[in-house]
């Protein structure tokens, strides 16, 4: 087969006995799923490795019941769970292969060459897989930042993700945090007949202005510029003392104050990281290691499903180009070098002109 030939995947492929995968994708969130559809549609054997027991990423695990309203083509919104299920069905139909409850450990370089491409070995906690390209789409790793003042209570009334409650029946809920996740949680509780007191460390919540307006208009009460300094049981309720001297009583606390950095995991992969600990990528979503791409929340400033999709799709197409026409990579690098040289010449000329 010529390098440039494209095949669609054959239903009879014995995926358990292929010598290597064209593409291994780590993470079955929006970015990884979009990448997997794109590579499989182009006839590349594609394996997705996912740490959890099912696909979907954050929309499935953090806000399955929320109606997502900012995805083009869904004027009435779509829940995180439904969106995840639809994309998963599409991926299965395209013959993407999945390994669930398996975690990436590291990615090794090998001496084995396939069509001028050195193969990589993806090592997980359950096995290892040879492949030509790797796409990392592990998102934020889902380890929520915790509050020790609440954890010390060892109470079932403290949640670090939205509890699955259909109707709050007038219960008082404290939501901690002022970002999008915390504001979304508050809106959901208010819509389900709960009362919300929102505690925000910053003077002005960082989340979307329109979501904050929805919280306020639905009766949510904001305690801005303060934190919880003490928490204790008060009968069936919790009493939370704030730095502003007030005490708020509640039936339940939902904490949404972001996630721990995934820096440690990323460092193991030996890819270049940015100052904030996220992965550095070039305009082709390739990391500092050739043939390893990174897409979605793992590196991005704009954390949205559609952006994760778009990046996954682009990286998949770049991976496809590199697999089907190996010289494309060199051409793209040469072009980048030329652009850099032109840039340098322009700044040298400007410097020269400004000299006294």
Ligand X SMILES: Cc1cc2nc3c(=O)[nH]c(=O)nc-3n(C[C@H](O)[C@H](O)[C@H](O)COP(=O)(O)OP(=O)(O)OC[C@H]3O[C@@H](n4cnc5c(N)ncnc54)[C@H](O)[C@@H]3O)c2cc1C
Please say which residue, 63 or 160, places its beta carbon nearer to ligand X.
63
The answer to whether 31 contacts ligand X (rule: CB under 6 A) is: yes
String marking each residue 205-234 x if it binds ligand X according to CB under 6 A:
------------------------------
CA max distance for the chain: 78
Which of 259, 199, 247 has its CA nearest to residue 227?
Answer: 199
Residue 62 interacts with ligand X (CB under 6 A)? yes
Residue 43 or 80: which CB sits closer to ligand X?
80
Q: How far is the CB of 288 from ligand X (least distance, A)?
A: 19
- Shortest Cβ 153–ligand X spacing (Å): 24
Q: Whole-number minimum distance, CB 98 to ligand X, in Å? A: 11
Smaller CB separation from ligand X, 49 or 158:
49
The stretch near ligand X (CB under 6 A) out of 8-16, 45-53, 230-238, 283-291 is 45-53
Which is nearer to ligand X, 222 or 254 (by Cβ)? 254
Nearest to 41 by CA among 2, 85, 10, 9: 9
308 binds ligand X (CB under 6 A): yes
Q: How far is the CB of 96 from ligand X (least distance, A)?
A: 14
**Residues with Cβ within 8 Å of residue 90, at least 6 apart in sequence:** 37
Q: Judged by CB under 6 A, does residue 313 bind ligand X?
A: no
Among 21, 22, 23, 30, binds ligand X (CB under 6 A): 30
Q: Using CB under 6 A as the criterion, what x/- string covers residues 88-127 for binding ligand X?
A: ---------------xx-----------------------
Based on the shown chain and the rule CB under 6 A, indicate whether residue 140 belongs to the binding site for ligand X: yes
Burial class (CB in 10 A: 0-12, 13-18, 19+), 86: exposed
Helices (H) and strands (E) in the chain, counts: 9, 17
Cα 125 from Cα 345, distance rounded (Å): 49
Where do the H-state alpha helices sit in the chain? 30-41, 58-61, 80-93, 148-151, 180-191, 209-217, 263-268, 305-324, 327-354
- Residues 199, 176 contacting (CB under 8 angstroms): yes
Of residues 194 and 296, the one with the C-beta less far from ligand X: 296
- Least distance from C-beta 54 to ligand X, angstroms? 9
List CB contacts of 193: < 8 A, sequence separation 6 or more.
167, 168, 169, 170
Residues 177-196 that bind ligand X (CB under 6 A): 180-181, 184
Judged by CB under 6 A, the residue of 9, 24, 137, 329 near ligand X is 137
Half-sphere exposure of 228 (CA within 13 A, CB side): 27
Residues 6+ apart with CB under 8 A from 297: 29, 31, 58, 139, 140, 303, 308
* Helix, strand, or coil (residue 289): coil
Helix 180-191 and helix 209-217: axis angle, to 10°?
30
Q: How far is the CB of 57 from ligand X (least distance, A)?
A: 2
Euclidean distance between CA atoms 281 and 18, whole angstroms: 30
Residues near ligand X (CB under 6 A), total: 37
* 139: contact with ligand X by CB under 6 A: yes
Contact 24, 106 (CB under 8 A): no
Q: How far is the CB of 197 from ligand X (least distance, A)?
A: 19
63 near ligand X (CB under 6 A): yes
Whichever of 138 and 252 has its CB closer to ligand X, that residue is 138
Residue ranges in contact with ligand X by CB under 6 A: 26-32, 49-52, 57-59, 62-63, 68, 70, 103-104, 137-142, 180-181, 184, 296-298, 303-306, 308
């Amino acid at each position: 087969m010529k390098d440039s030939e494209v095949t669609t995947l054959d239903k009879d492929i014995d995926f358990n006995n292929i010598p290597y995968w064209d593409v291994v994708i780590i993470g079955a969130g929006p970015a990884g799923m979009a990448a997997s559809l794109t590579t499989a549609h182009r006839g590349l054997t594609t394996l997705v490795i996912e740490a959890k027991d099912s696909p979907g990423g954050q929309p499935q695990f953090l806000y399955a019941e929320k109606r997502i309203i900012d995805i083009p083509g869904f004027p009435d919104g779509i829940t995180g769970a439904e969106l995840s299920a639809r994309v998963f069905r599409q991926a299965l139909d395209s013959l993407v292969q999945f390994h669930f409850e398996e975690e990436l450990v590291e990615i090794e370089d090998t001496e084995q060459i396939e069509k001028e491409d050195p193969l990589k070995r993806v090592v997980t906690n359950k096995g290892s897989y040879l492949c030509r390209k790797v796409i990392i789409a592990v998102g934020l790793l889902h380890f929520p930042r915790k509050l020790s003042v609440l954890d010390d209570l060892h109470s079932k009334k403290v949640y670090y993700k939205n509890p699955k409650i259909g109707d709050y029946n007038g219960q008082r809920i404290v939501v901690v945090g002022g970002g999008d996740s915390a504001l979304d949680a508050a809106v959901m509780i208010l819509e389900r007949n709960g009362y919300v007191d929102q505690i925000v460390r910053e003077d002005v919540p960082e989340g979307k202005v329109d979501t904050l307006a929805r919280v306020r208009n639905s009766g949510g009460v904001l305690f801005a510029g303060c934190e919880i300094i003490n928490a204790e049981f008060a009968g069936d309720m919790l009493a939370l003392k704030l730095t502003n001297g007030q005490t708020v009583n509640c039936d339940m606390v939902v904490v949404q104050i972001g996630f721990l950095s995934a820096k440690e995991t990323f460092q193991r992969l030996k890819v270049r990281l940015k100052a904030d600990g996220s992965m550095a990528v070039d305009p082709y979503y390739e990391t500092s290691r050739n043939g390893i791409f990174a897409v979605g929340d793992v590196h991005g400033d704009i954390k949205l499903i559609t952006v994760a999709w778009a990046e996954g799709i682009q990286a998949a197409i770049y991976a496809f180009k590199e697999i089907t026409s190996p010289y494309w990579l060199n051409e793209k690098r040469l072009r980048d070098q030329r652009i850099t040289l032109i840039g340098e010449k322009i700044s040298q000329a400007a410097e020269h002109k400004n000299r006294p």
